[in-house]
Chains A and B, each alone.
Chain A
């Protein structure tokens, strides 16, 4: 996809539903083209500004499943992958440090009461799925999942049907651990999305994201993005 094609397709990222192929192509283009990424970010900010006040604070309203919020996390995640890969050396140095900090944070982070309401939408969706001739893996997780990553941490406000497709081979290959056990890519467990307990996704450049869903315990009093 080039810049012209991106501009022809960018409106689709704001539609109610989006074709996965288009979404992936746009994300891949933005990962390499800072001008298009900046253009999209500006549109997204304006779109966010136009959101009704009541919509911003009502995550449980089924009509409020803003695709943009969902996309925003997708793009941040995807962008981070390449960003992290490009600062590979710095990441190696910081991995040890962030691990120690993470341990300390996990031990001391403030706890809020458990959030009981967890979306059952997509609960039966397949959690792990291979795509693109078995080269990429798509993960399904649910609203209420605690997403912990290098880009920031947050409680997922919208039900995620499909995560970004993580490359499993090549320069940016990812490995996935489920409850501490490394997953055999060629023999994926056939689990529903509701079965995600703790998942670690690692890139060649270091830890990228942890998904913790059971029990859902919110580290901050509000469920806003924790960046």
Chain B
């Protein structure tokens, strides 16, 4: 009985090690896409790197507690965890990030890296559309995921993913047109 229990524990440890190894492999492969997604979601590379780190740690810890079979597709699970962590971070950050009114901020002191400018340009474009539409667009373009993969990541039906993508593009287009008209009038 004792031997059987020892064997089980050994087997469990081996399984856990295999899971972690698999996670490391998949994470390495998907890292560029995960990072790009996070950069265009959060607007800068430093925060994106932090979120990636947090995503890895969270899944790594979870794999010890969870049965691997509970996670059907590790790649999708990675993206789903990252999107959740980003949402959580953005929500909490919007509450915490405050600047006292008497603080003098000289933005020329802190040069914005060239990539960050692009991340912020995209963030600006996606600000005026609903978050769920923006997220489908981000996953399609920056994470280079197909609509079927996005449906799996977000646990949504495929037609919903496609319509969110289209509505998102239509709204951005409309916003740009309105902005142009406003500039012409102004």
| B-binding residues in A (CB < 8 A) | 10-12, 14-17, 42-43, 45-47, 49-54, 63
B166 near A10 with CB under 8 A, answer yes
- Contacts A43-B166, A52-B40, A52-B118 given; indicate if A14 touches B176 (C-beta within 8 A): no
Q: Which 3 pairs from chain A and chain B are nearest by CB?
A: A11-B162, A16-B146, A53-B118
Give bound CA distance, A121 to B54, whole Å.
37
Specify which of B114, B115, B162, B172 is in contact with A46 (CB 8 Å cutoff).
B172
Nearest-neighbour CB distance to chain A for B125, whole angstroms, equals: 6
Are A43 and B118 in contact, with the CB atoms below 8 A? no
Chain B contacts to A: CB under 8 angstroms:
32-33, 36, 40, 114-115, 118, 122, 125-126, 137, 140-142, 144-147, 149, 162-163, 165-166, 169-170, 172-173, 176
**CA gap between A15 and B122 in the complex, in Å:** 20
Which B residues are in CB contact (< 8 Å) with A16? 140, 144-147, 149
Residues in B whose Cβ lies below 8 Å from that of A63 = 32-33, 144
B166 touches A50 (CB 8 A): no
Q: Cβ of B166 and Cβ of A11 under 8 Å apart?
A: yes
Beyond A43-B170, A43-B173, A47-B169, is A15–B146 a contact (Cβ under 8 Å)?
yes
Q: Which residue of A lies closest to B147 (CB)?
A: A15
Complex alpha-carbon distance, A49 and B148, angstroms: 23
A173 to B93, CA, bound (A): 61
- In angstroms, Cα B141 to Cα A46, docked, is 12
Contact check, A51 vs B166: say whether CB atoms are below 8 A apart.
no
Q: Which residue of chain B has its CB nearest to the CB of A42?
A: B173
Find B137's partner among A45, A50, A52, A54 (CB 8 Å cutoff): A50
Select which of B115, B125, B145 is within 8 A of A50 by beta carbon.
B125
- State the CA gap A42–B170 with chains docked (Å): 8
The complex places the Cα of A10 from the Cα of B162 at a distance, in Å, of: 9
Residues of chain A within 8 A (CB-CB) of B40 are 52
Residues of B within 8 A of A51 (CB): 141
A46 & B173 in contact (Cβ 8 Å cutoff) = yes
